[in-house]
Chain A
């Protein structure tokens, strides 16, 4: 067993100059990750960051780990092959909303349903940054961009709802203005066995500046962010005066004084069904209403790569190790002398 040496943020930072726009939310996410990695029980050598294309996808270049900057949308597929063959590695996937939800949406949902052991960080800035400002699959309807001068017509994805719909076993949301919260979410996602996805609300200060200000500014958070805590009634507000109830019509925001504390929904991240987590995810219908952050779901289910290895071990046990000569003679044969 290799022991994990003590490291600092510097050890996890590569020698490459970071080339995001000054003021980009990606910087704070990178810092959060680089500062957190020394606290995890992993070696740099065993850590791999895989990304697709987009601003967020430059992330691997800045980590002093193994890394692959691949092609648009395909990082979950590439990471799948790596994670299945190398269960000893710690595989991270980083990408933006265009990369993972538009061109790569198919790979994302299939990675999630298969529950492949990887930690997925979805930087959601609700815009295409690297192609200079077109609307994305998470942009709000009516968004005016270069490609939608009269406003976008598309109805957006809610990434948390999507992940829950794909029956992801770990689903969380955080934002780029709160390093502590980000690190807590990333740490929990990393500890999770199977596919873990963390949506990070991330500010693109060039093409979609302030998209999340109404939620994530320090003085707005108490009123606008609903912290999900396992086993606790869901409450928020400047004076913790508001809460969430879930009934047949879904999740609703209520005044605690009106319904009484006992009526509030007590969050259960390990619930076996996705119904309540899904109801919570629908609260974030726009960026002006109170929005849940934290862990929506964290359940255990058979991890894909482990199951694959299990079948290999079973085949080895029942049939014995492969014998090439026997394989070539496995169909009917005849002798010519």
Chain B
């Protein structure tokens, strides 16, 4: 293996942001993913942002069909996929048209010249070829006939030209890997593993990669070569993880910690389906996955499993939560553990299935009829999905309640290096099933009452099959204690307040919030969910530049951490950046009577750190 990182003509930089863009069929997600994995194994810190159209194959060559993958690699700790890309790899005119405006002024643009022919230019809306008409002056251009060179190198292998063309993304990967000093070996091994039984595909992809690498070496591109040293991260074993995988593993971990099997009822929906796919692989952990006939059956079956003493889980995105609402109300009334996972996407309705948004907070909070409170937790980064999943299971089991876990499309598909936890350090989740009667009635008879409560105000989890504890539960209002149907007005008032109180009481077991950044600042930025990365990057930049900013990030959105109100009261400016029109800021205003200002972005894309800096400065003015 050539260790290209040692070459003396390579200039070292702290970080690079590269954006791979092409047609949906060009394999850009795979290319970006491979580049990322090689960078991860090399030891860089990194963050990624895959962006792809909702259509599996949008019309080829059009702007609608552009699929892109942005990766930020760094020699120090980073939290976002970067602001403006330093490098754009454009596999066709549409990709150039769509993504050139994102590139930093004077950035590097790498294009596949073979794709810049008349038809493709027309489809992208170019009247003249931008490579030739001077419109790219000011950028560092690297042009390569990737398709024809790939076909050429594959010819001798006996690969048909049509098939060879499909390997052109590996040519691009080879070229970019040479330019940015990525090790070759991980990708070669990966090609062998992935396409092992298809010899010709393995050979074509390897040949294309090496041809791209060689193109860089021979085309005198040395001036453009850069390297990013490994980052100095906390010691430990790392893996590069996306949010949906981390979340799935967190659910498995929760199951192990509780000693109870998982049942996942789910209906396929973007961007949540990968959790179903991942959990379906882990049947040897006792995981049962059930692809239901619809969203309602998905949550219904999970609730049935919870009634039977398993950890009932349902995964979906916003539209699915809307459908599950009635069953969630039932779960609130039944007081059974249930984990409900919403991987948020752009809405309303079908909205933007493959783009991110965080506008389901109010639905999580209030999206059921009647007063039907349930705890809400949110993950803040891809790896944090692991811990948040465990927390959701802990709350559900301890407090016998449905719990909403909010993630989003950005966390689901974005990746970051994750320092793997020591499994033995994860805390067990105690589970207590009812096993005996809990009341003596007036006749001196020992009976079981399903709605008698413990110190946590949780009722017993008495699963069918337990001797002597036969009882009936349902969605009709019941009398506390006995659980018998009751239409008594006083009782209903009592129960509504009790259900509210028992969820608020969960705050007692939520750790207090810790302030990061400069705690003595006038400005406090309050975040939740995937905005953590850009808020952290922005507050870091502002503090370094002499503008003091404090930051808190909420994992628990209902109930809030016990010290939130006290923290909010300390600051002159309370700013709340969200990928919605100000849902958390409204909750904070209502709950704490503070002048929480909303910073809003609803474009289907996460905040960049630069935007966040500007927004904070603007809002605090």
User: In the complex, which residue of chain A has the Cβ closest to the Cβ of B299?
Assistant: A77
Which residues in chain B, 219-241, are within 8 Å of chain A measured between CB atoms? 230, 232-241
- Of A69, A89, A318, the residue contacting B475 (CB under 8 A) is A69
Residues B285 and A67 in contact, CB atoms below 8 Å apart: no
- Is B493 among interface residues, defined by CB-CB distance under 8 A? no
Q: Are B293 and A107 in contact (CB under 8 A)?
A: yes
Known contacts A45-B467, A71-B326; is-contact A81 B303 (Cβ 8 Å): yes
| Contacting residues, chain B, for A314 (C-beta < 8 A) | 283
Q: Is A46 an interface residue (CB 8 A)?
A: yes
Nearest Cβ in chain B — how far from A334, in angstroms? Answer: 5
The verdict on A334 contacting B238 (CB below 8 Å), with A85-B261, A321-B284 known, is yes
Within 8 A of B (CB), among A68-86: 68-71, 74, 77-86
Known contacts A71-B327, A329-B239; A315 and B423 CB within 8 A of each other: no
Which residues on the B side are within 8 Å of A44 (C-beta)?
470
- Minimum C-beta distance from B47 to chain A (A): 16
**Contacting residues, chain A, for B149 (C-beta < 8 A):** none
Residues of A within 8 A of B475 (CB): 69-71
Chain A, 313-337, CB within 8 A of any chain B CB: 314-316, 318-322, 324-325, 327-329, 331-337
Residue of B nearest to A74 (CB): B300
> Within 8 Å of chain B (Cβ to Cβ): is A308?
yes
Q: Do A327 and B282 have beta carbons less than 8 Å apart?
A: yes
Q: Does A311 contact B (CB under 8 A)?
A: yes
Is A89 a contact of B465 with CB atoms below 8 Å?
yes
Q: Is B97 an interface residue (CB 8 A)?
A: no
Contacting pair B470 A84 (CB below 8 A): no
Interface string of B229-257 (1 = CB under 8 A from A): 01011111111110001000100110010
User: Interface on chain B toward A: helix, strand, loop, or mixed SS?
Assistant: mixed
User: Closest Cβ of chain B: how far from A220's Cβ, in Å?
Assistant: 37
B288, A77: Cβ atoms under 8 Å? no
Known: A81-B300, A84-B263, A89-B464. A65 touches B470 (CB 8 A): yes
Interface: A206 (CB within 8 A): no
- A134 an interface residue at 8 Å Cβ cutoff? no
Q: B252 contacts A327, CB within 8 Å?
A: yes
Say yes or no: A86 contacts B290, CB within 8 Å. no
Per-position contact with A for B291-320: 1 when CB-CB < 8 Å, else 0? 011101100111111111110100000000
Residue among B256, B312, B473 with most chain A CB within 10 A = B473
Q: Let me know if A312 and B301 touch, CB within 8 A.
A: no
Asked if A20 lies at the interface with its beta carbon under 8 angstroms from chain B, I say: no
Among A78, A84, A311: residue with most chain B CB under 10 A: A78
Interchain nearest-CB distance for A226 vs B (Å): 33
Which of B17-25, B37-45, B170-178 makes up part of the contact surface?
B37-45
A82, B470: Cβ atoms under 8 Å?
A: no
A110 within 8 A of B: yes
Whole-angstrom CA separation of A84 from B291 in the bound complex: 12
Within 8 A of B (CB), among A281-337: 308, 311-312, 314-316, 318-322, 324-325, 327-329, 331-337
Q: Smallest CB–CB gap between B259 and chain A, Å?
A: 12
- The answer to whether B300 touches A48 (Cβ under 8 A) is no
Number of chain A interface residues as a range: 35 or more
Q: Given A16-B484, A70-B330, A85-B261, do A77 and B301 touch, yes or no (CB 8 Å)?
A: yes
B485 at the A/B interface (Cβ < 8 Å)? Answer: yes
What's the A-B contact tally at a CB cutoff of 8 Å? 205
Considering the complex, give the chain A residue whose CB is closest to the CB of B473: A68
Known: A61-B485, A327-B249, A332-B186. A322 touches B308 (CB 8 A): no
Kindly list chain A residues whose C-beta atoms are within 8 Å of the C-beta of B37: 332
Please determine whether B43 and A334 come into contact, CB atoms closer than 8 angstroms: yes
Residue contact A88 to B465, C-beta cutoff 8 Å: yes
CB-defined contacts of A331 to chain B, threshold 8 Å: 239-241, 245
Contacts of B59 in A (CB 8 A): none
Beta-carbon contact of B465 and A77 below 8 Å = no
Considering only residues 403-441 of chain B, those with a C-beta below 8 Å from chain A are 419-421, 423
Q: Tell yes or no: A204 within 8 A of B by CB.
A: no
Please tell me if the beta carbons of A74 and B296 are within 8 angstroms of each other in the complex: yes
Inter-chain contact B241/A69, CB cutoff 8 Å: no
Tell me if A324 and B256 are in contact (CB < 8 A): yes
Q: Is B265's beta carbon under 8 Å from chain A? A: yes
| Nearest opposing residue in chain B for A322, CB measure | B285
Is A50 interfacial (CB 8 A cutoff)? Answer: yes
Give A47 to B464 CA distance when docked, in angstroms.
Answer: 7
- With both chains docked as a complex, state the minimum distance between the C-beta of B417 and any C-beta of chain A, in angstroms: 8
Instruction: Check B476 for interface membership: any CB of A closer than 8 A.
Output: yes
The answer to whether residues A110 and B297 also contact, given A325-B423, A332-B40, A334-B238 and a CB cut-off of 8 A, is yes
A106 x B476 contact (CB < 8 A) = no
> Is B301 within 8 A of A84, CB to CB?
yes
A326 to B468, CA, bound (A): 41
**Contact across chains for A67 and B41 when beta carbons are under 8 A apart:** no
Cβ-neighbour of B238 out of A14, A68, A321, A333 (below 8 A) = A333
Instruction: Tell me whether A312 and B288 are in contact (CB under 8 A).
Output: yes
**B240 and A336: CB pair below 8 A?**
no
Render B464-483 as a binary contact track against A, CB cut-off 8 A, 1 for contact.
11111111111110000000
Cα A65 to Cα B464 in complex, Å, equals 9
| CB nearest neighbor in B for A109 | B293
| CB <8 Å contact, A336 and B284 | no
What distance in Å separates the Cβ of B450 from its nearest Cβ neighbour in chain A? 10
Q: Which of B300, B312, B468 has the most CB of A within 10 A?
A: B300
B286 part of interface (Cβ distance < 8 Å): yes
| CB pair A84 B290 closer than 8 Å | yes
Q: Are A329 and B420 in contact (CB under 8 A)?
A: yes
Give the distance to chain B from A270, nearest Cβ to Cβ, in Å: 28
Residues of A within 8 A of B (CB): 14, 16, 44-48, 50, 60-61, 63-71, 74, 77-86, 88-89, 106-107, 110, 308, 311-312, 314-316, 318-322, 324-325, 327-329, 331-337
B residues at A contact (CB < 8 Å): 37, 40-43, 186, 230, 232-241, 245, 249, 252-253, 256, 261, 263, 265, 282-286, 288, 290, 292-294, 296-297, 300-310, 312, 326-327, 329-330, 334, 419-421, 423, 463-476, 484-485
Task: Give me 18 other A-B pairs in contact (C-beta within 8 A), A80-B290, A334-B43 excluded.
Answer: A16-B485, A66-B470, A67-B470, A69-B473, A70-B330, A77-B300, A78-B301, A80-B304, A81-B290, A81-B304, A84-B290, A324-B253, A324-B423, A327-B252, A328-B423, A329-B237, A329-B420, A332-B186
Closest 8 CB pairs of A and B: A81-B304, A69-B474, A322-B285, A81-B301, A77-B300, A315-B283, A77-B297, A82-B304
Give 24 CB contacts A-B under 8 Å.
A60-B474, A61-B485, A69-B472, A69-B474, A74-B296, A74-B327, A79-B304, A81-B265, A81-B302, A82-B307, A84-B288, A85-B263, A86-B309, A88-B465, A107-B297, A312-B284, A316-B283, A320-B284, A321-B285, A322-B252, A324-B253, A327-B285, A335-B236, A336-B419
